Structures are given as structure tokens and as C-alpha cells.
Chains A and B, each alone.
Chain A
Amino acid sequence: MKFTLSWLKEYLDTDEPLEKLAEKLTMIGLEVEHIEDKAKALAPFTIARVISAEQHPNADRLRVCMVDTGNGAAPVQVVCGAPNARAGLVSVFSPPGTFIPGKNITLGVGTIRGVESRGMLCSAAELQISEDHDGIMELPADAPLGAGYAQWAGLGDPVIEINLTPNRQDCTGVHGIARDLFAADMGKFKDPGIKPIKGEFLCPVKVTIEDTSLCPGFALRLVRGVKNGPSPEWLQKRLTSIGLRPINALVDITNFMTYDRARPLHVFDAAKVKGNLTVRHARDGETLLALDGRTYTLDRNVCVISDEHGVESLAGIMGGEASGCSEDTTDVLIESALWNEINIAQTGRKLGINSDARYRFERGVDPAFMLPGLEMATRLVMELCGGTPSENIVAGNAFGEDRVIDFPLAETKRLAGIDVPLPEAKRILSHLGFMVAGSGPVVKVAVPSWRSDVHGKADIVEEIVRIVGVDKVPMTPFERGDAPRKPILSSIQLRTRRAKRALATRGMVEAVTWSFISKPHAELFGGGKSELALANPIASDLSDMRPSLLPGLVAAAQANADRGFPDVALFEVGQIFKGDRPEDQLIAAAGVRHGFASSRGIGRHWSGSVTADALDAKADAFAVLAAAGAPMQALQIVSGGANWLHPGRSGAIQIGPQNVLGYFGELHPRTLEALKADGPLIAFEVILDRIPAAKQKPTRAKPVLELSAFQPVSRDFAFTVDRSVKAGDIVRAAQGVDKQLITAVTVFDVYEGKGVEDGKKSVAIAVTIQPREKTLTDQEIDAVAAKIVAEVSKKTGGALR
């Protein structure tokens, strides 16, 4: 919403400076977004006369001018390139030190091709008052030399633009803004009454409303014998000052009423309207050439005004070209109507029309002003164009409902924490147009018709508080009370946090990728369900909710490789979607490593350049699980499992086949191809929600530490087994021999090649035997060792090497 200071002063008698008014507007909820004060910005630009203009000695296109800047000052020498610089011309001068807005420079004393220049003669474009940069400005010969140009040219009226919240339709007009400032003590509200104008004949055009839910009220009046033409200077200036283009008096009046009184109107050229008017739904496929010169195709959700020709106007949004008013118009139909806010908003959006009428009607205009608005417009038409008015005809209901709110005065203190005494509250409300009856503790407040946003007690509190000033509400410490200081994070929140830190300590970098990915990528990872496909994605590659973090991470790794950083280790901990119910949203932790980004270090290095392999991914997954509190002893590793992974270089992590926590391994070449990524690329993903909850412990004390008095014994065994035998099975077999005595089994060597038969491998384990009650004899140790050999052999077919 834009208006000028002088326009505001039509309704507000005030001496407050612009800055103070602007600050007050912001502080009462009418946020000032921008003030354009041309008089201030253009203050150094003065009116001057060119005394002489001689050819520049060293440049064909330049002239050396002597300029009379007025006030008896000595002539100033200015080098000027404008073709119209000539002796006698009155133009605009700026001295050195002036900021030139159109060029974004500050002028200095210059020497141009050897001739000194002490200032500049300016074009309109350089002042940013028009696009005209063909030469310097030409002012009338009698323009006062030395006077400020902006003031002289009438640019002295600052333009204020406010960012209006959608609830304040009353402030889409200057009149309403003035009332708010009046309530906020910024001056006296001038509210000239509107006197009805008696009609001199019956309006010959009838109006029928087919659907009153779309059009609650419609008033119409004919004015005969008008003489249309350019509107007077005051009206043109009003409109141009806020960026509107004057068209002709009749149209200008409607635009004026829109900004002045938040009352959009429409004028039809009565000669071009055939028969009566009907307000109705458009028929599917009907078209209208609107006043913006575009043709719109309509459907039955659009509300239109039609006559016997067909659609003449898009109700509340824009009129039609065919019935519009021109300089030839002699009989004008003035429409002042009420429209359904939702329908206006939907139609405007659908047709892509942002008109000043739509802006107001979708916020809901004052129903009680439908007729006064028509009267005011009629008066303006008669004043500017003459003519004889008909009587009004009114269809539908011209008045809104009455709203009276029982308002306990204590409500302001309760909700806003500030005491506003009754006289003050009454003063504020009555200045805003509310009527207050009673003396408390509960008063009756009648809401004015233009405040369709006020419905209840809280709204009244807002009115009082915003005018008193939110800055007057004292800050009140918010005590946390004696609530226990317990941890506040849920288990999944803690797991998420720990997973992130655990992966980052492994040298991985956290990425945050999009929640939505392309359908083919979603399908690759078991997603792509129809319930997870967006109906209105912004792009086809952001169409489906992700079933996994990996497509996003793989794309990210590839993007980094494409930028010249191929050795990357990225992770993400975030939401994935298995369905559209809340319980289908899970938190996953996933990571990818590419190139020389193994867990032993990132990038090539003299100490060994290691490319990431599937077991790095396993290590990452285990680091996450351990940090997130998973029962590590209970985890089982199973080969393969996920079809997006290399079948031979991947595994699943599970606690029984029913609870798969996640997968790790090298990405399947087909997955890489589908994701357009260069391999090898290793990846893991675990679902943090699937980790079983840890048992709640009654105290924070750790279990008693038992330290054995006896030295542990270590024995090494090397087994020759088939290549397909899993090391994990050998370890498990050895461990199972005696769970009391055997405290650790580690694999310290895996070997295939010379000395080991083809198809076989050697796996060497070190077994730690921890005596519990006494030192073991050699025979006892040998017996355990023999059992280990026998058990491993039985479980895996391995032979001691």
C-alpha cells in the first residue's frame, strides 16, 4: 500500500515530522517498508540557466558551458555532452559533491579533455525521475534560478509504502491509515461526511444476483450526460505520485476511491452495456478481453457480471475492454459491490491477475461503505464530468453483521501483561471506531464494520496493546520454577546427535540433502510408493519423498568429484519415509566414501594411499551403532542383503532376521549407473529407530569391576578353510568353546596364495584365555586349545595349519 504524505494529511491534521509518523506506523502494525523522499534525495539539484555554450576545443561532442546558478553567484564552468546544451536553456544543475542517483556516483570537480568542469547539467534519468536521458532537462524560461528543482517540480511529497498484513483491509485506503494514526496520537482525524446525492430518475439497468454467496451486495447508479476527459491536475498528481497512470476522469475516480477509501469501484460505459446486468458464475469456456488487453478463458468458479452481450467484467478483479469508459463516454454506470473474499483470491490467482481491486476484495472491503462509496464516487463524477445521476439501485445486503464483544478489562493484563486503565482503553477503542459501553469490569465493545478481522477478546487486547505500544509491555522474567533438571532429549534425538558426532570424528563431513528425490532414484532404494509422490513437485528430480539418504549423498559425492574433489567422505543423519503415516518416518544415518577416503585417512598420502572399501563402510556403520547405544554383542552380520549393493561385497546388520538395522558395502555397478555416479563408491545406512531401547537402570553407578589376579594366556591358531568360510564363523566357534575362560578372539591374519591350496585360505586367530580361579596348568590350556581346534574344524571344516 502506497500513499503520499500530503494525501495522508487530507485526513490527518498533524505537525509530526515524516520520520516520527513512519516510526509510529511501524510500531502500530503498519510496517513502513520504504519511504521515497525525492525532495530530500534531490535537495542539491537546483534550477540554473546556461549563459553560453561553446564548442569544446578538444572534443567534437562536448560543449563548455557557463552556467548561472542563480542567487547572484559567479557563473560556473561546466563541460556538457548533451546535444541540447545551448545558451539560454534553463535546466537542472548539481554542484561537485552531489550524489547522482541515476549514475550511482558522487560528482567531483573534473577536468574533461583538458577543460575544468565544476558541476553537471542533468537529465531526468540522472535524477531517476524518468527514463528520459536524451539530453539535459529543459525547464520553462521563467523557472526560478537557484531554487531547489524537486520542490519546484512538485516532487516534494514523500511517498510512503507500507507492508500491510492481510487482516487490515481498512488500511488499504489512506482514510483508514489516518484513523490508526489518530488513535496513536499522531494528529487529529479529519473525516468529512458523505452526503447522499438525490437521484433524478430511476436507474434503467436492473441487477440480478444469481448466487449471493459470491456477491452479498451490489449497488449501481447511472450518471447521464457526463463529459469524460483528462482528470484535473490534483487527481492526476495523486495517482502519479504513487505510480498509477492517469487514464481519464471516470477511470481515475475509481482508482482514487480504491486508494483513498479502500473502496474499489467499476465504471461501465452505459452505451456499451446491453440490457440488464446479471452477477453469475461464468460458463466453462467463456472468454473476456479485459482492460489489461489480455483475453481470459473462464470457468464456472469465476464470478462475472454479464449483460445480453455476455461477460462484461470479472467481478471484483478487472473490468472488460468492451464496456470500459473512454473519452467518448457520455453515460456511465457506477458499480459499488461486495464480493466473496475466497472466490476473489482464487480467481485472481488462477487467472494471474494482481489488480488493486483484487488486493482489497480478497481482504474484504467494508460492507457498510458500499453505498457511501457509491455516493462519494457519484459526487466526484458530477464534479469532474458533470451529468445527472439516477437513483441508486441496490441488490443483496448492503450491511455486515453487528459484532458486540463482552470484554473484561482485566483481559489486557492477563494476555499482554500490561495494565491499561478503562479511560485509556476507551479512548483508544473509540478513536479506532469501536463503541464502548459500560464502566467495567466487563464492558461491551461494538466492532466497526470496517474491522472484519476483530471477533473476540484477544482481538480487542491486540487493538489496545498495539496502540499503547508493545514496547510499553514490561519484560517479565520467565521462571523455570522447581521443575526437575532432567535431560530433555528423547532417545531418538540423542541417537541422532551422537551419530552425527561419531561419524564426524571418523573424518566424514555432514551434508544436508533434499527430502525429495526423483521417482527412479526412490524406486532404486525401495521407495516410489504413490502415497509418497508429491502432487505438485517443483521439479521432476524432486518429486518423491526419499526412502533412503543414499541417493542424495551419492549425488552430492559425485557433484564434489565433478568440482575436482573426488576423495570425499560424506554423511547425513535425517528423516526417511517408508509411508505417509507418522510412524513411517524414520531417522537414518548414512554415509558414502569415494576415492581415497578410507577410514584410515582422506586423500593420497606417503604413509599409504588407501581407497575406501566395503569394510570401511562396515566400520562407519558400527561407529554409528555403538555411539547410538546399540547392543553391539547382539549384532549379526549377514552377507549381501540389499539389492542396491554389490552382492559379494556387502552385508546386512541385524538383530535376528526380523530386525535389520542397516546395510553396508560397495554400491552395485547398476545402482551407480542409474545414479550417474562414478564408482567404486562405498556406502552404509542404518536406521536409528530400529535400535532396541536400552534397559533403564535404577542408578547411574556402573557395574562392579572384577579384575582377575591371574595373568591371561594367549594362544595363536591358524586354520586352513574353504574361501567361502566366514571369519566370523571361526571366531564364533572358538568363542563358544568356553564362554567363561575365553575372553577374546581376534583375527590377526588372513592369507591366500603360495603355500595355501587353491580355493582355500588361512585364517589366523589369537585366543585370550583368562583364568578365573587359579593359574591354569599346561595340560588344562592344551585341553582348551584342543577343544578350539576341534570346534572350529567341526563348524567350518577347517584344519589346523
Chain B
Amino acid sequence: MTDLAQLESQILAEIAAAGDEAALEAVRVAALGKKGSISALLATLGKMSPDERKTQGAAINLAKDTVTQALTARRDILKSAALDARLASETIDVTLPLRETPAEQGRIHPLSQVMDELTTIFADMGFSIAEGPDIETDDYNFTKLNFPEGHPAREMHDTFFFNPKEDGSRMLLRTHTSPVQVRTMLTQKPPIRIVCPGRTYRIDSDATHTPQFHQVEGLVIDKGSHLGHLKWILHEFCKAFFEVDNINMRFRPSFFPFTEPSLEVDIQCRRDKGEIRFGEGEDWLEILGCGMVHPNVLRACGIDPDVYQGFAWGMGIDRIAMLKYGMSDLRQLFESDVRWLSHYGFKPLDVPTLAGGLSS
């Protein structure tokens, strides 16, 4: 074995023995560095005869290439092993529980959700949303709505009043959202198509009544709208709101001071262990009152009942929300129990749309 061959095999052995990149680098420097063993051999070439240089040069350079390749190969192996070793030590516990994202934790109150649902349905039918104050006058809440003097609703027994003012008048908390209809009729010219959702108040507190509750009323005033249209609108509304293909409704004559004729509306349903199914069963469940706007109301709002006509309806938002979503106790709506709110509330990104479904 020549010296060169011996040197080469010695270096290759050292390369193979290098345990890490630093040791390998030392081998490289010792072989190929400025003062390295192969570099030293290359430096001898200058003193050789051309012929010798030719053969020796080729041999030394071959040895250098072999060593260089071996170094590269060994470096790759060592680098990969080092990376594996590092990664092997870098472990995390992937079973650690996550924080629930805020958008998953947050909730929209069922009443807000249902108001959004109502808005979506009635907007599609060409209605706009009207609102008015909770604190109202006797005139707007009762007189203009054709409540006779001495009507029981006008008593302290049923209605929340504020203390009388110096002039003897006294404000009250509206007992229905109908004053919004009055305000609209007094300020807008027909045709009128509005729905008025809002908070209302009556002195009542038991399992099925709370002193505050919510109503949505609708009002149409024009020159041709009649009971047939009213029936159609309510039928379409109920199908859309309860998200059913069909619903059986019963319109019964009834009485309200502000409508004539007046009707109450029942929907057919079957109650089964807290769940309500519509369009089947034996029960008729009352859900709303409606009728043609009473001529006295139109007159009181400056509208000629022989020229214009229209209808109105009203229903409890709390009630229809409870019916649709199977909530059993009205009082829970206002008790802010996070367990209840998390269960019956809606996620913030569940925005009701007609395209995507009201309650998806």
C-alpha cells in the first residue's frame, strides 16, 4: 500500500469514526485544511517533475475527492442524526385541552335571536321595523286605541304608572307595542307596512307572566288590504318562523278594542314530553290576536276609515320563542342563569338568514 493509499484509508476511517459534526470538522481540517495532510501532499506537487506531477497529482486529487465525498456523506448522516436527536427531545403533550374559542363560548339571548328571525321574515315580505319608547302617554297607549274610559287595563291594577305630573297627567309603561302603530300612523302617510317589536309591561307575575315581556306587532294601512291578506301573511309567517312545510291555523272571532273585526289565531300542535310538533295532533294553541284596524283608531290617528283600511296583529315574542325552542319557564328568560343562557342561547355566528335557515 502506498503512503497515499494508507493516508486515504486512515482519513476515511477517521471520518467514519467521527461522532459528531465537530469531530468531523476536525478530521476535515486535519486532512483538507491549510495545514492538512492531503493539502501538504498537494503542496509537494510543485517540486515534482512534470511526469511525476501528472501521475501523483491525479492520485492525490482522487484521494482528495474521495475524502471530500466521504466528509459530505458523513456530515449529512451526522446532521440528520443530530436533528433526529433534537426532535426526539422536543416533545409536547398533545392531549392538553384547548381553551374554547370565545366565539364558541359567547351566546346571543334567545329573545335577540328570535327578534332577528322575525326581522328577517318580515323584511322579506316588505315590512320595515318601527320602534317607540317604553314610557308612553295614556293617550297613545289607550285613548287613541279606542280603549273606553274605565277599561280595566287603564287601572293601576294592570298597568304600571308613574307619579302624576303637576298638570295631573301621568305617564305609563306601555302595555303593548301598539303605541308604536299610533306614532307611525300620526307621522307617516299610507301605505304603511311596519312591524314593531319591543318590550312591554303589565302588572302580572306568576309562572306564565312576567311584569316585563316582549311583543311584536304588525300594521298594514292602505286602500285594499283585508282579512284575506292578513290570514295569508300570518300563515306564511308561521310556516317560516316555525320552519315547517305546513301548519294548520284556526282563526276565531274575538274582541279587542282596537280592531273590528277581531280574531284570535290558534295553531294545531301535538305536545309530547316538552316537545311541540306543529301541523299534527289535537291541541289548538293560541298564539296571536289580530284584526282589521278599528275605524275609531284610524280616525284618532288622522286617517279616514272610509278611504283607508288595514289590519294589525300582535303576538308575544317570549311565547313564540319558548314554543319554537322548547323553553318551559318564562321567568328563566330574565334570570340570567349562565347555564340556561349557554343551553338555550345561540352562538354569535349563527345569524338567521333566509338563505341559510333561521335557526340552521
Contacts and interface: CB of A to CB of B under 8 A. Distances in A.
Interface of A: 26-29, 31, 165-168, 341-343, 345-346, 349, 413-418, 453, 456-459, 461-462, 465-466, 470-471, 473-478, 480-481, 483, 488-490, 492-493, 497, 500-516, 530-538, 542, 545, 552-553, 556, 559-560, 563, 565, 568, 570, 573-575, 577, 580-582, 585, 599, 601-602, 605-607
Contacts of A489: 119, 129
A417 B109 contact: no
From B134, B226, B253, B339, residue with most partner A Cβ within 10 Å: B253
Contact of B255 (A165, A456, A488, A500): A165
B42 interface: no
Contact of A508 (B106, B128, B163, B229): B106
B46 interface: no
A197 B227 CA distance: 49
Main secondary structure of the interface of A (DSSP, over half): mixed
A465 B254 CA distance: 12
A570 B345 CA distance: 12
B35 interface: no
B162 A349 contact: no
Most buried by B among A503, A510, A580: A510
B205 A538 contact: yes
Given A458-B261, A478-B225, A511-B336, A536 B341 contact: no
A459 B295 CA distance: 10
Contacts, number: 255
B319 to A, nearest CB: 15
A417 B161 contact: no
Contact of A534 (B162, B264, B309): B162
B135 A462 contact: no
A565 B348 contact: no
Contacts of B233: 478
B270 to A, nearest CB: 19
Given A417-B226, A510-B109, A511-B109, A458 B254 contact: no
Nearest to B150: A342
Given A345-B152, A500-B112, A416 B261 contact: yes
Given A505-B349, A507-B105, A568-B338, A415 B309 contact: yes
Contacts of A573: 112
A512 B334 contact: yes
B134 A515 contact: yes
B150 A504 contact: no
Interface in B244-297: 250-255, 260-264, 292, 294-295
Contacts of B263: 470
Given A346-B150, A565-B339, A480 B126 contact: yes
B229 A507 contact: no
Contacts of A488: 119, 123, 127-129
Interface of B: 96-97, 99-103, 105-109, 111-112, 116, 119, 123, 125-129, 131-135, 148-150, 152, 155-157, 160-165, 170-171, 173, 199, 201, 203, 205, 211-212, 220, 225-229, 231-233, 235, 250-255, 260-264, 292, 294-295, 305, 309, 333-339, 341-342, 345, 347-349, 351
A461 B293 CA distance: 13
A475 B228 contact: yes
Contacts of B351: 501
B3 to A, nearest CB: 58
Given A510-B108, A560-B336, A565-B339, A471 B251 contact: yes
Given A415-B292, A504-B107, A601-B99, A509 B162 contact: no
Given A27-B250, A461-B261, 8 more contacts: A29-B253, A349-B152, A509-B345, A559-B336, A560-B337, A568-B338, A602-B100, A605-B99
5 contacts: A478-B225, A488-B129, A506-B102, A512-B111, A537-B160
B295 A563 contact: no
Contacts of A477: 229, 232
Given A505-B106, A510-B341, A538 B254 contact: no
B161 A534 contact: yes
Contacts of A560: 336-338
A507 B102 contact: yes
Contacts of A574: 199
Contact of B235 (A165, A475, A509, A552): A475
A709 to B, nearest CB: 37
A535 B156 contact: yes
A605 B264 CA distance: 54
Contact of A470 (B164, B251, B260): B251
Contacts of B261: 415-416, 458, 461-462, 465-466, 470
A258 B109 CA distance: 50
Nearest to B107: A509
Nearest to A573: B112
B284 to A, nearest CB: 9
Given A601-B102, A607-B99, A510 B255 contact: no
Interface of B is mostly: mixed
Contacts of B152: 345, 349
Given A462-B253, A534-B162, A503 B129 contact: no
Contacts of B148: 342
5 closest residue pairs by CB, A with B: A342-B150, A417-B228, A480-B126, A29-B253, A507-B102
Nearest to B259: A458
Given A536-B161, A601-B99, A478 B125 contact: yes
A501 B253 contact: no
Contacts of A538: 203, 205, 211
Given A167-B255, A342-B150, A602 B336 contact: no
A627 to B, nearest CB: 11
Contacts of B108: 500-501, 504, 510
A500 B231 CA distance: 34
Contacts of A533: 162-163
Given A456-B295, A585-B134, A535 B162 contact: yes
Given A466-B261, A534-B162, A457 B295 contact: yes
B105 A602 contact: yes
B348 A470 contact: no
Contact of A473 (B128, B150, B231, B339): B231
Contact of B348 (A346, A505, A535): A505
Contacts of B156: 535-536
A573 B112 CA distance: 10
B99 to A, nearest CB: 4
A470 B295 CA distance: 20
B103 A505 contact: yes
Contacts of B232: 475-478
A577 B135 contact: yes
A16 B250 CA distance: 22
B226 A26 contact: no
Contacts of B342: 509
A510 B235 contact: no
Given A475-B231, A535-B156, A513 B336 contact: yes
B309 A414 contact: yes
B286 to A, nearest CB: 9
B337 A563 contact: yes
Name, among A509, A570, A582, the residue most crowded by chain B CB atoms within 10 Å (CB to CB): A509
Contacts of A346: 150, 155
B25 to A, nearest CB: 37
A64 B256 CA distance: 61
Q: Which has the most chain A C-beta neighbours within 10 Å: B227, B255, B264, B295?
A: B227
A414 B212 CA distance: 37
Contacts of B235: 475
A575 B345 CA distance: 20
Given A415-B226, A510-B112, A563-B337, A580 B135 contact: yes
B82 to A, nearest CB: 31
B343 to A, nearest CB: 11
Nearest to B231: A475
Contact of B160 (A415, A471, A500, A536): A536
A494 to B, nearest CB: 10
